[in-house]
């Protein structure tokens, strides 16, 4: 494989291309970057707490950097992200301490930044904010957050397409509480409503059709908020306003969505064996492990423990025969980000794998169902794209090809694993997209290949 343009301490050139030669096994230990979801929330909750929050293991990728930049623009002091072996320190300004910025708040490519800020800023009485982002983010749906905030809690949010597309203006006001049912299980929607509830006049209860990621509930409780989780499978979350949040120390575990690339990569690449220490195993995020076990993957979980309210463990995985899987709407919320790489795994499994109930992937950074279908077909794969999923019969033989991330970080890394097991070299254009969530991915891939010989 040629030396990539990406590196851990400097961004790759725009539209960078990575050349991948197949035939290398993956061997060794790989430390994945900090969990992206928890990194966002650590910054946000630290900013509105009183006192200092110290964050160890922060993911210094583009998306959390967008969150930090927006908070800094509103008067929050945050130490540099990405300083080697140094924690990130956030000096909290309290629930009512965010200042009206002198310019628009640029959320970059981060949907999490924009959606959670909509909830947080809606209750900042007497202040006005404008949220925007890059071309991709300005086309992503924000109505699933803005509508319940406005209709159920009295928020004042305006923008394109009746307040559903950025740029979005937020006029902070006194919010009301209530019981809010969401149409889709979404941690971002739930988190935005809970953040809005911190300054509401009464309790806010969020009821989801299926349970989504619960990082916000766990971390809000750790910071001192009055949060109660109940109902079937924890689908009912209630927040009572009035508590003061207190700064604290946060240890961010390794991101299981980033670990997914290595887990699948080792499982499908002959001769591979990897160890991944300190990976977060939040039960709302472990759908990937369930699918890999269903496929018969050689996967072990060791040294389980809890760190800052989050379960973590070491993962060991090696190559072996794989069977097919079936993913339905009940499981999708617990592995929605891992579906692109699981589509790659399906190509090397014996039998027909099916994914349905995953329409959410059509409104991510790209339409991931369409993009993965298009790119894998370029490699000669037979992939059936449905309205809400994919059907893939394996095993299949792939050929090297000219591939394109289409600006999507998870697509770029998923295609890398397919290319490792193709016949002939491949080039992945737009490889720099990986930096959104995994700045050191290409460097680690080189290292693991070198260790594998």
Give the up-direction half-sphere exposure of residue 268: CA atoms within 13 A in the CB hemisphere.
34
Q: What is the DSSP string of 45-96?
A: HHHHSBSEEEEES---SHHHHHHHHHHHHTT-EEPPTT-TT--EEEE---TT
Asked if residue 204 lies in contact with residue 177, where contact means CB atoms within 8 angstroms, the answer is: yes
Q: Which two tokens stand for residue 408?
A: 């999507």
Q: Is 140 annotated as a binding residue?
A: yes
In whole angstroms, what is the distance from residue 189 CA to residue 87 CA?
29
Using only the alpha carbons of the chain, give its radius of gyration: 21
Residue that the structure tokens 């169902």 belong to: 369
Q: Which residues pair with 426 in a beta bridge?
A: 20
* Strand 310-318, strand 298-307: pairing: antiparallel
Q: Is 337 annotated as a binding residue?
A: yes
Q: Is 37 annotated as a binding residue?
A: yes
Asked if residue 61 lies in contact with residue 32, where contact means CB atoms within 8 angstroms, the answer is: no
Q: Which two tokens stand for residue 451?
A: 């260790």
Q: Is 186 annotated as a binding residue?
A: yes
Give the up-direction half-sphere exposure of residue 256: CA atoms within 13 A in the CB hemisphere.
27
Catalytic residues: 337
Q: Is 111 annotated as a binding residue?
A: yes
Task: Compute the C-alpha angle 128/132/136, nearest 5°.
Answer: 160
| Helical H segments across 107-174, by residue range | 111-122, 143-153, 160-163
Asked if residue 339 lies in contact with residue 358, where contact means CB atoms within 8 angstroms, the answer is: yes
Tell me, what DSSP letter sits at residue 343? H
Q: Is 410 annotated as a binding residue?
A: yes
* Strand 52-56, strand 249-251: pairing: parallel
Q: Which two tokens stand for residue 400?
A: 């090297």
Q: Is 205 annotated as a binding residue?
A: no
Q: Is 36 annotated as a binding residue?
A: yes
- Binding site as annotated, residues for 3-phosphoshikimate: 36-37, 41, 186, 188, 337, 364
- Binding site as annotated, residues for phosphoenolpyruvate: 36, 111, 140, 188, 368, 410
- Binding site as annotated, residues: 36-37, 41, 111, 140, 186, 188, 337, 364, 368, 410
């Amino acid at each position: 494989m040629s030396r990539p343009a990406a590196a851990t301490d400097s961004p790759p050139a725009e539209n960078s291309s990575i050349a991948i030669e197949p035939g290398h096994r993956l061997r060794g230990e790989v430390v994945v970057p900090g969990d992206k979801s928890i990194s966002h929330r650590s910054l946000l909750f630290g900013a509105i707490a009183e006192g200092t929050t110290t964050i160890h293991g922060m993911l210094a990728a583009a998306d959390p950097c967008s969150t930090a930049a927006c908070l800094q623009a509103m008067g929050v002091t945050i130490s540099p992200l990405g300083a080697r072996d140094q924690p990130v320190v956030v000096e909290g300004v309290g629930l009512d301490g965010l200042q009206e910025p002198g310019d628009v708040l640029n959320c970059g490519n981060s949907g999490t930044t924009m959606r959670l800020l909509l909830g947080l800023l809606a209750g900042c009485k007497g202040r006005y904010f404008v949220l925007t982002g890059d071309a991709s983010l300005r086309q992503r749906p924000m109505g699933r957050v803005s509508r319940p905030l406005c209709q159920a809690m009295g928020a004042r949010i305006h923008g394109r397409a009746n307040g559903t597309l950025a740029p979005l203006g937020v006029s902070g006001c006194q919010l009301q509480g209530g019981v809010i049912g969401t149409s889709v299980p979404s941690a971002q929607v739930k988190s935005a409503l809970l953040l809005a509830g911190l300054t509401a006049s009464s309790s806010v209860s969020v009821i989801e059709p299926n349970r989504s990621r619960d990082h916000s509930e766990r971390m809000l409780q750790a910071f001192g908020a009055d949060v109660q989780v109940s109902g079937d499978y924890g689908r009912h979350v209630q927040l009572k306003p009035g508590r003061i949040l207190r700064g604290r120390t946060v240890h961010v575990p390794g991101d299981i969505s980033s670990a997914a690339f290595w887990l699948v990569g080792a499982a499908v690449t002959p001769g591979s064996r990897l160890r991944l220490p300190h990976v977060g195993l939040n039960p709302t995020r472990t759908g990937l492990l369930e699918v890999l076990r269903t496929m018969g993957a050689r996967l072990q979980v060791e040294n389980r423990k809890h760190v800052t309210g989050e379960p973590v463990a070491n993962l060991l995985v090696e190559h072996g025969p794989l069977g097919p899987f079936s993913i339905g709407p009940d499981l999708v919320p617990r592995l929605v980000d891992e579906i692109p790489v699981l589509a790659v795994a399906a190509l090397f499994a014996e039998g027909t794998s099916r994914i349905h109930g995953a329409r959410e992937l059509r409104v991510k950074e790209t339409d991931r169902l369409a993009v993965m279908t298009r790119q894998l077909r370029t490699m000669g794969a037979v992939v059936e794209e449905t309205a809400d999923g994919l059907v893939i019969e394996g095993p299949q033989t792939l050929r090297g090809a000219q591939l394109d991330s289409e600006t999507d970080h998870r697509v770029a890394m998923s295609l890398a694993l397919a290319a490792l097991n193709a016949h002939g070299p491949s080039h992945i254009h737009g490889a720099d997209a990986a930096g959104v969530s995994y700045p050191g991915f290409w460097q680690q891939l080189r290292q693991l290949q070198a260790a594998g010989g």
